[in-house]
Amino acid sequence: MFVCLCKSVSDHEIRAAVDNGVHSFEEMQERLEVSTVCGACTCEVKQILKKRLNKEVSTKTFSSNIDVNLATSGLA
């Protein structure tokens, strides 16, 4: 689904950008040029970015907990 019609950027591309190192709205604007014309997509871009970053943090936390549990259990 297109989120930014002015630059033809989809929600998939926004999530992929986060997965490839974009961690702020400003970085997203630089990378994909979203929200640089009319600005109508700004809220949706920020929501997708925030959700993806939260998912990334919880995944890393989960992985980190597994590493700690494996290390303390002697399985690592």
Shorter beta-carbon distance to ligand FES: residue 34 or 48: 34
The count of residues in the chain is 76
Single-letter code of the amino acid located at 56: E
The closest of 60, 4, 58 to 31, measured between CA atoms, is 4
Residue from 34, 48, 49, 52 touching ligand FES (CB under 6 A): that is 34
Exactly one of 8, 16, 39, 58 binds ligand FES (CB under 6 A); which one?
39
Judged by CB under 6 A, does residue 6 bind ligand FES? yes
Q: How many residues bind ligand FES (CB under 6 A)?
A: 12
d(CA 56, CA 19): 8
Rg value, the chain, Cα: 16
Residue 41 lies near ligand FES (rule: CB under 6 A)? yes
- Rule CB under 6 A: which of 55-74 touch ligand FES? none
